[in-house]
Amino acid sequence: MQKSILFFLSILIAMTSIAQQVKTPAAAVSKGLTKEEKQVMAWIDAHMPQAIEMLKESVNINSGTLNIEGVKKVGALFAKEFEKAGFATEWVAMPDSIKRAGHLVASRKSGKGKRLFLIGHLDTVFEPDMPANPFTMLNDSTATGQGVNDMKGGDVVVIMALQALEQAGLLKNTDITAYFTGDEEHAGYPREVTRGDFINRAKQADIALAFEGANGLNSVATGRRGASGWRLDVTGKTGHSSGVFTPSAGYGAIYEAARILNQFRETLSTEKYLTFNPGIIIGGSDIEYNSETSKGAAIAKTNIISPAVTVTGDLRFLTEDQKDRARVKMKEIVAQNLAQTSAKISFVDGIPSMAPTEGNNQVLSVINSISMDMGVGATVAGDPGSRGAGDISYVAAYVDCIDGLGASGRGAHAPGETIHLNQLPFLIKRAALTIYRLSR
């Protein structure tokens, strides 16, 4: 009990400091915001200790993607908070064969106004067998913890924004679905099952807003790159190494694999937003590779020309057209074999891209006007190349989208991940006003 009181007092002190650091100019607020919007902002300031307490509680529950019970426990915590905002909640379970926890869905339906689809996720990259990193205040404006930024901080942004709107009576006649997936960091297969319900519900919306990490106060994502995979299998004629380079022996599989990879780099590496990374390469006289575990082994001698090489990698792109063109060029390069070698490449789709669109820019214009009204300057579109794939990419083809509306911090996916608590009040306020204005 004493520890809880001390923690709550520390949060009150920290949030007082944070409020002073991000205070919005009064003239700007009075000029651009309505009476109701100011009420929302004041409520958020008054309830920041509760926001931090919710963040702490969620962070201290391990919810690594494969920790099914942990993911469900975080879902149950957030479900109670959604219900405080007048949302009905449900759990979308996955078949046992998927080995994933499922997803939390919270919704309010009215049939009026713009239909919004808010995206978060319950899981983190940190599994139970990894070193613990509980929620810890590092100073009065920074905290650390597993998933504190990616993306439990973003989840708290969504929930607190909705609670603030509810208390002000501004969620009446709104149509909002919040969908927090349980396996964003390592989505289960088949994707038709693990993302089928997610996609179907998003198709019924007009606008999707995702709350992955924010890049500061004045940038959001109107585009995100997609991710796919590729596998290169090369064969060569084996024999004594003294014969390498001769017409009868040829170059062997390792030289051919090296040629292909280097030509990928020379031909395609300067194209904006396109990257392709060979993650593992195995070559030798006798090789084994397990794609499920991403592990392999090789047996070889330096005096034997290698007869086999396997390479796997990823391919990231901004548009489907860019992905398709890159695959065509990669196939052409693979087909230009050195003597006594052959090669084949195969591709597998992963997460589609979220291409920048005019519709996305229109949503950005609303967010920009909110930022200006709050007195913090313009909000602009960030560099799509700085972001990887995310859940919003699955639905980007069907609705107007914005991402990067969540918490801000550093070191996501790594020990010591942090959140900038001094920026959290503004980000919650901006989210609340964005939801309110877009839903009208």
Is the pLDDT confidence value at 176 over 60?
A: yes
| Per-position b or e across 42-63, b if 16+ CB within 10 A of its CB | ebbbebbbbbbbbbbebbebbb
* Three-state DSSP state, 332: helix
- Give the structural domain span for 205: 2-224+354-439
Residues sharing a CB contact under 8 Å with residue 113, sequence separation 6 or more, in sequence order = 173, 174, 175, 439, 440
- Same domain, yes or no: 253 and 381: no
**Please, which pLDDT band fits residue 215 given cuts at 50, 70 and 90?**
confident
Give the per-residue pLDDT at 389.
76
Q: 351, 377, 393 — which closes off a domain?
A: 351
Neighbours of 352 (CB within 10 A): 21
d(CA 69, CA 120) in angstroms, rounded, equals 18
**Confidence at 30, pLDDT banded by 50, 70, 90:** very low
Q: Are residues 272 and 334 in the same domain?
A: yes
289 and 399 fall within a common domain? no
The enclosing domain of 282 has a CATH number of 3.30.70.360
DSSP 140: T
Verify that 207 and 232 share a domain, yes or no.
no
* Shared-domain flag, residues 255 and 183: no
Do residues 241 and 370 both lie within one domain?
no
pLDDT over threshold 80, residue 4 = no
Mean pLDDT of 284-294: 88
Same domain? For 251 and 325 the reply is yes
Q: What is the C-alpha separation between 252 and 97, in angstroms, rounded?
A: 42
The reported pTM is 0.85
Last residue of a domain, one of 305, 325, 351: 351
Q: Give yes or no: residues 9 and 131 share one domain.
A: yes
pLDDT of residue 14: 52
Q: What Å distances lie between residue 297 and 71, 208, 284, CA to CA?
A: 34, 44, 9
Looking at the chain, the whole-number percentage of residues with pLDDT higher than 70 is 93
Which domain CATH number covers 74? 3.40.630.10
Is the predicted pLDDT of residue 115 greater than 50, yes or no? yes
- Tell me: pLDDT of 24 over 50: no
pLDDT tier at 280, thresholds 50, 70, 90: very high
CA distances (Å), origin 190, targets 187, 195, 231, 245, 349: 9, 9, 19, 45, 12
pLDDT at 23 over 90: no
Statement: residue 28 has pLDDT above 90? no
CA atoms of 3 and 318, how far apart (whole Å): 49
Residue 83, pLDDT > 80, answer: yes
Distance of CA 374 to the CA centre of its chain: 27
Given 287, 321, 351, the domain boundary residue is 351
Domain total of the chain:
2
DSSP single-letter state for residue 182 = S
- Are residues 306 and 192 both part of a single domain? no
- End-to-end, the C-alpha distance of the chain in Å comes to 44
Rounded Cα gap, residues 78 and 55, in angstroms: 10
Question: Is the pLDDT assigned to residue 64 strictly greater than 90?
Answer: yes
231 and 214, same structural domain?
A: no
Same domain for 316 and 365, yes or no, is no
Residue partners of 410: CB distance under 8 A and separation at least 6: 149, 417, 418
Instruction: Count the helix, strand and coil residues of the chain and give each as a percent rounded to the nearest 5.
Output: 40, 25, 35
Residue 413 above 60 pLDDT?
A: yes
253 with 339, same domain: the answer is yes
